[in-house]
Amino acid sequence: MRGISTELKVGAFALAVMSLLAFMTFKVGGLEWAKKKGYVLYVGFNNVSGLDEKTKVKIAGVEAGTVEGIQLFKGKARVGLRISPDIKIYSDATAAIKSSGMLGDRFMSITIGSPDRPLLKDGDTIQNVVEVVDIDDLARNLMNVSRYFGDLTENLNQVLGTPEAKSALSRTITNLSEITSSLNRTLDANDYRLRKVLDNIAVLTDSMNGLLAENRGPLNTTVSNLRDFSGSLKSNGPELIGNLSKATKELRELVEENRPAVKSTVASLDSIAGRIDRGEGSLGKIVKDDSLYTSVTKAVDGVNRTISAVDRFRTFITFQSEYLSKPKDAKGALYVTLQPRPDKYYILGVVSDPVATVSTRETVTTTAGGTTTVSEDLIKKKIQFTAQFAKRFGDSALRIGMTENTFGAGADYFFNEDKGKISADVWDISRNEQGARNPHVKVGMDYYVFRNLFLSAGVDNVMNKKWRGGYVGGGLRFEDEDFKYLMSTMPRISTN
């Protein structure tokens, strides 16, 4: 059976690369695939004038979908809305047709509702609707209001248009003018006194409010204690008075007996307080010196920065295995990813590679018949190491460092919220691998089918005909938090 020709292999590889580029173009360009994204909700209106298909759907002023279609359903306009898949709308949501300004375009406005209510799914209907105000109805209402004002004006003219009504209204206005003048004269004559009285009342009110606010708790406690004390007096009055008299007598005797000692203690406390206030002694220096506060503040800031950095630091451990079709052997790896920031991380790994590296050793032998040189290939380094620095830019990342014991570099493209990753790596620039004529180039894709489980596939050693072939595999990726959870849920063996 003839093998696959070189032209067919090159064509297949070119087709794969074109398919990969087409997928990345659609993904980066935001172009839609055959299946539309998002889910459809319906809402009914009595009037949707000015609303067309492809009209924007906005939530809090931000575009969240489009109007997919408008149909007549049971005498109402049934509007289909295609909502973006990452937006959640709840059963108490409200829909309304609004305009951008007085003469702007119409758009559909939605409030998402309360998160404690059930979610709306594909095909559900938004029940709460704010109908559009019709311009013709508004004009008719304005005409009715105008007619009512006309009737009111006519009635007022009938009431106030007679000579008697005009005369009475004139006398009333004159009387009000005289009363106002009298009040003005009275206020002018007593303006100073009135202002002083009002100022005193305001000061007294503020003082009472402040006093009550500051002592509200003690006042409540005092009233409660008085109430309890009154009850106790009613039941235990004579006995309580006798005990108070006895305690007063004993307290007086105790004070008289210890008066000199109390005076000495008070004098000592005054002396200590004076020394602290003057900044004397260790305690005085602590109280008066501001450098202690500054030092404590700096120490607390440093601790906060350290704790913040520790909280941001993440660690991932990846176990990965691949089956290489060309050498027909398996390749295993263990990687530790240290991520101090979301856009920067370090990759450390140990790889068991079936395609070993090779070096040449020459042995020169000199005899009487001449000099003989023998070249010998030394195959070694089955276990290899990887150490890379990676920097992420949005959905892409660049890596550089040591790949499987040689200098290497790579690039990653993440998609579907980091569930998938397309990678391209190049290493072994000096062609140390066994049978290598060109650097080692690997192109493949990883996709997470579960949270910690991913599958891999791609083409390995693209530029070396001897080892070029496809690979399939998979792996497990855990974060340090996952290990904590697994260790906490493992059954424990009792030692009792």
- 156 and 50 fall within a common domain: no
Q: Is residue 172 part of a domain?
A: yes
Q: Is residue 365 part of a domain?
A: yes
Count of structural domains within the chain: 3
Q: Is residue 87 part of a domain?
A: yes
* Distances, alpha carbon 445 to alpha carbons 240, 328, 467, 478, in Å: 91, 20, 19, 19
Structure tokens of 199? 């100022």
Backbone angles phi, psi at 314, to 5 degrees: -130, 150
Tens-digit pLDDT string for the chain (496 aa): 456 778 787 888 888 888 888 777 766 554 555 456 889 999 988 888 778 888 889 998 888 898 988 888 888 888 898 998 888 899 899 999 888 766 667 888 899 899 999 988 888 989 898 887 666 666 677 787 877 777 787 777 776 667 777 787 788 888 888 888 888 887 777 777 777 888 888 888 888 888 778 777 777 787 777 777 667 666 666 676 677 777 777 777 777 777 777 677 767 777 777 776 766 665 566 556 666 556 656 655 665 565 555 556 789 889 888 888 877 888 888 899 999 888 999 999 988 877 665 555 667 777 776 777 766 655 555 788 899 999 999 999 999 998 888 889 999 999 998 889 999 999 888 777 766 778 888 999 999 988 889 999 999 888 888 778 899 999 988 887 765 555 455 455 444 4
- 351 and 402 fall within a common domain: yes
DSSP one-letter code for 433: B
- 142 and 119 fall within a common domain: no
Of 130, 73, 128, the closest CA to residue 98 belongs to 130
Which long-range contacts link 368-372 to residues 24+ away (Cβ below 8 Å)? none
- 320 and 423 fall within a common domain: yes
Query: Are the CB atoms for 112 and 88 separated by under 8 Å?
Result: yes
* Distances, alpha carbon 489 to alpha carbons 184, 198, 302, 484, 486, in Å: 87, 74, 35, 9, 5
pLDDT of residue 454: 92
- 89 and 154 fall within a common domain: no
Q: Is residue 437 part of a domain?
A: yes
Range(s) of the domain holding residue 106: 39-132
pLDDT of residue 491: 52
- 148 and 43 fall within a common domain: no
pLDDT per residue as tens digits for the range 135-182: 666 667 778 787 777 778 777 777 666 777 778 778 888 888 888 888
Structure tokens of 468? 């070029």
| CA pair distance 462, 438, nearest whole angstrom | 9
| CA pair distance 141, 12, nearest whole angstrom | 74
- 458 and 378 fall within a common domain: yes
pLDDT per residue as tens digits for the range 355-411: 665 555 667 777 776 777 766 655 555 788 899 999 999 999 999 998 888 889 999
Q: Is residue 233 part of a domain?
A: no
pLDDT of residue 495: 45
Q: Is residue 153 part of a domain?
A: yes
- 46 and 182 fall within a common domain: no
pLDDT of residue 94: 92
Domain edge (last residue) among 132, 160, 176: 132
Domain edge (last residue) among 173, 189, 205: 189
Domain edge (last residue) among 189, 208, 232: 189
- 384 and 428 fall within a common domain: yes
pLDDT of residue 494: 47
Q: Is residue 198 part of a domain?
A: no
> CA quadruple 226, 228, 229, 230: dihedral positive or negative?
positive
- 469 and 417 fall within a common domain: yes
Strand bridging mode 94-99 / 128-130: parallel
- 61 and 155 fall within a common domain: no
Q: Is residue 466 part of a domain?
A: yes
- 426 and 392 fall within a common domain: yes
